[in-house]
Chains A and B, each alone.
Chain A
């Protein structure tokens, strides 16, 4: 993972009084945060950073500690599970406008799948521990985030059920 926005050689700090650009405008635009109160955005923006991944790179692997989640801005990532007999099996692909990872919010905070980059990915990464702390401090914010993450979990569950039905198979 390469973090963007770190001071590069020759980087000059903004002059006093000149507003430092934050990720807030990007978060406002992302479907996951649509309609979230600005005060909450200001609270969570401190947990966010810009990241990039190259094709073939693993963002996380099954069993590892789940301490981030990602708002995808560009590119494509595959959620995979590895089976010794069948190799890597892709369960779902995610792209622009979608969210990768919800395991950071629910114990035991471990990834359930591998996430492998298919097309160069740009995303906003959130520090899960930082967010969890903020959620504990402000339960209203916590409830908002849980609702949004639960919505994603439900969507994924429904999609998985449809996939299991094998609707395009012979007996459909």
Chain B
């Protein structure tokens, strides 16, 4: 049996995808005790950057290289809407958690420090398919970061969508990402935001429970809904089940996968996932196209 996957989503158009560009840290923001956001500005001139066509689509990732330490794939969490040329240089925004050698070193970077960037790489959220639909975004933990660019884009063209719903689950109130932005989003009348945590003390007056428990509480048209999910695989499995229970079709569910990505262009094979590579065929997949391998412990 031959597995045919649509590969209409772009990978990269960079001249040499293995060659990092130099970026300077413009801003560091501590999001939680172990999670931080880096805003990176290219060191080459704006014209050079423009000539290389450095832009990204919501859902893509970059390889960030700390010289002498190593390289890691990190999703882009900033706004994909291009800034005005000549007004400000293009920037990449990345949110990550300090868990390994590279990300721990990354967490020590300060404004003005230099690092290497390769990318953007990979597939993206199906922005073109979402027009005129209800959007349900389900994020778990740091999985909110890769979904944020999509939300920025939806909000910048709000009139193109019906309901927009963001469901966000995380470990505890102290682990909530983008807290200030979440509060601003919650205050909007044209966006529904629900946050839940797994554990809480008495001072927390929000929801407690897994993110899937929020799905029965929202109102959406399952036949005209596109669902975007990002988080730990186990959370995505249960979220898919709950969405399907409410009538959302497999072909309308998109998930962002994570694996050990090294080259980002499908050469090294580290991120092989069945007949695909997460780095170039993903990280965003339409669920019905990978369901056969999704959740298999051998893959």
Contact = CB atoms under 8 A, between A and B. Distances in A.
A91 B235 CA distance: 18
A172 to B, nearest CB: 5
B198 A166 contact: yes
B219 to A, nearest CB: 11
A118 B217 contact: no
Interface string A89-109: 111110111000000000000
Contacts of A93: 196, 206-209
Given A93-B196, A168-B231, 11 more contacts: A80-B202, A86-B201, A90-B199, A93-B207, A162-B210, A163-B209, A168-B140, A168-B142, A168-B169, A170-B99, A172-B232
Given A159-B210, A167-B234, A87 B202 contact: yes
Contacts of B141: 167-168, 172
Nearest 3 CB-CB pairings of A with B: A168-B141, A88-B202, A168-B171
Contact of B200 (A89, A97, A165): A89
A90 B200 contact: yes
B199 A168 contact: no
Interface secondary structure of B, over-half rule:
mixed
A168 B175 contact: yes
Contacts of A92: 208-209, 213
A168 B139 CA distance: 11
Contacts of B234: 162, 165, 167, 172
Contacts, number: 78
Nearest to A91: B208
Given A88-B202, A97-B217, A167 B140 contact: yes
Contacts of A86: 201
B198 A88 contact: no
B7 interface: no
A2 to B, nearest CB: 22
Interface centre among B34, B142, B169, B171, by most chain A C-beta atoms within 10 angstroms, is: B171
Interface of B: 34, 97, 99, 140-142, 169-171, 175, 196, 198-202, 204-210, 212-213, 216-217, 231-232, 234-235, 238
A168 B97 CA distance: 11
Interface string A38-57: 00000000000000000000
B208 A90 contact: yes
Nearest to A155: B213
Interface of A: 31, 76, 78, 80, 86-93, 95-97, 118-119, 158-159, 162-163, 165-170, 172
Contacts of B235: 162, 167-168
Contacts of A166: 171, 198
A170 B175 CA distance: 11
Contacts of B212: 159, 162
A159 B235 CA distance: 11
A91 B202 CA distance: 10
Contacts of B201: 86-90
A97 B169 contact: no
B279 to A, nearest CB: 21
B217 A96 contact: yes
Interface centre among B196, B198, B238, by most chain A C-beta atoms within 10 angstroms, is: B198
Contacts of B205: 118-119
Contacts of B170: 168
Nearest to B213: A159
Contacts of A80: 202
A125 to B, nearest CB: 21
Contacts of B217: 95-97
A93 B231 CA distance: 22
A131 to B, nearest CB: 24
B95 to A, nearest CB: 14
A78 B210 CA distance: 14
Interface centre among A78, A88, A119, by most chain B C-beta atoms within 10 angstroms, is: A78
B199 A89 contact: yes
A92 B213 CA distance: 10
